[in-house]
Amino acid sequence: MVIIGCKDQSDSFIENNKVDDISLLRADFEKQTGYDQTKVYLLTPAFRTRINWDKTVEKHKDTVLIAVSVLDTVHFPFDGLQVDLKNHVILKAVRNKDSKWNYSTVTFVPTDLSKGYSGLIISRSLKKGIEKIDYYNEGSILNNDNIIRRKFAVSASKNANKASAGLRAGCIYGYVNGYVNFISCDNYTGTGGSSSQDTYGDPDDFEQMPIFDGEGSPPFSEEYYSITNNVKNPCLKGMVDEVINRDIVFKANETLKSIFGANEKINIIFNESTELESGVNGNAKPTQIFYDTEEKISSIDVSVNLNLNTLPSSSQEYIATVVVHESIHAYLDYKGFLYNTSQHDIMLKNYVGVIANYLVNNFNTPVQDAYSVAFGGLYEAFLNSVNNQTWSSIESQLGNKLPSLNDRSRILADYELGYKGKKCQ
Ligand SMILES: [Zn+2]
């Protein structure tokens, strides 16, 4: 007996009418998940994505790979590289025995493809929200924790603490638009019983995934750049984020973000510290410096410590000033004033206005208050090393923007103790 046209209906779901069936698949997906194009964080909470239903690959009748555009700039440090996640995310649809489609977001973080897939594959089941992180080496899955840890440590030497801490907690980090962010947390136990029902990515999916998003950026590069906020205290952490987000204009065409957040090989790391003396708000120390063949700085890490013992009781304006002040130290290090012990002189001469304007523009601080606070941390420079000529030129330049020494000391203390300005939260 010959049976024609009597295949199980679900079996021919994709085969018979491709265009139509993808739209059926799409309808099913949207029904199951409530997805629409505005839900840019549905596929992965770490960065924004959009599904491209017109770019799909049918691996076989029960497995469809759908292209996903990554709308943010996402870099993932692993195994010595920064992997660009553009064109590295797919939606994977797998039909189970019960004919129901299961969906997962699969993010590929390849570091080498010459001898099979090496790198990470992050799978996120959209139904259960379960995330699973698989580590591959030359096409084989890696289970050895020590090797994985080493790959993280070597890779993210500049973020080693964060990366290995993240690994211990089962979470991994990447850079989303230049800022460190969670990418994924492994909450897959592997013993859920119904794991055969779940849909995970594999190296084969990477081979076959649909290619889209025209201009292909190289999949990985060795560019390191970032501004990292490791501060834990909520009020201090928020102030660091705010200063970074609002940017600091050092001079025309040179801002904190343009220097530390873009293509330069620079890293500025904000930390909190309980070791600083009570009179010290913070400090900035270069921790790693590389020079090019012309002996110019090609890469620098600057670690900024903020005084956790004293700063949280200060006003927002005061804390922001400290963050800006220390960022200027980092900027001056980068500009080659690394071994110049009188960076405060340079600051007093050229950057008091930068700090004061920052307060006026971002906090509506009265001008005289802004200059009083901006002079904080520069008193010893004023008293010790700036020669009289410089000082009188600063004074005459600022005119009545700068209150008398007595007045500005009082104003500074009011902001420092939180009597004036906004409370830090
Ligand atoms: Zn300083």
Residue extents of the structural domains in the chain:
18-215, 226-416
Sheet bearing 226-229, strands edge to edge = 220-221, 81-84, 74-78, 171-176, 179-185, 226-229, 265-273, 297-307, 282-291
Q: Strands 297-307, 265-273: parallel, antiparallel or unpaired by DSSP?
A: parallel
Distance 279 CA to ligand 1 centre (A): 12
Distance 158 CA to ligand 1 centre (A): 24
Distance 157 CA to ligand 1 centre (A): 27
The pTM for the full model equals: 0.50
Judged against a pLDDT cut of 50, whether residue 154 lies above it is answered with no
Distance 417 CA to ligand 1 centre (A): 19
pLDDT-derived band at 260, boundaries 50, 70, 90: low
Distance 280 CA to ligand 1 centre (A): 9
Distance 339 CA to ligand 1 centre (A): 14
Distance 179 CA to ligand 1 centre (A): 25
pLDDT digits (tens, 9 = 90+) for 383-407: 555 566 677 778 888 889 989 889 9
pLDDT digits (tens, 9 = 90+) for 297-312: 777 788 999 999 999 9
Judged against a pLDDT cut of 60, whether residue 157 lies above it is answered with no
pLDDT computed for residue 117 by the predictor? 92
The DSSP bridge partners found for residue 270 are: 229, 304
Nearest to 307 by CA among 270, 278, 344, 268: 278
Q: Which two tokens stand for residue 342?
A: 């009188």
Distance 356 CA to ligand 1 centre (A): 15
Distance 377 CA to ligand 1 centre (A): 6
The DSSP bridge partners found for residue 305 are: 271, 283
Distance 205 CA to ligand 1 centre (A): 52
Distance 268 CA to ligand 1 centre (A): 15
Distance 67 CA to ligand 1 centre (A): 49
Distance 292 CA to ligand 1 centre (A): 27
Distance 72 CA to ligand 1 centre (A): 35
Judged against a pLDDT cut of 60, whether residue 139 lies above it is answered with yes
pLDDT computed for residue 223 by the predictor? 43
Distance 344 CA to ligand 1 centre (A): 6
- Give mean pLDDT, residues 129-151: 81
Distance 191 CA to ligand 1 centre (A): 54
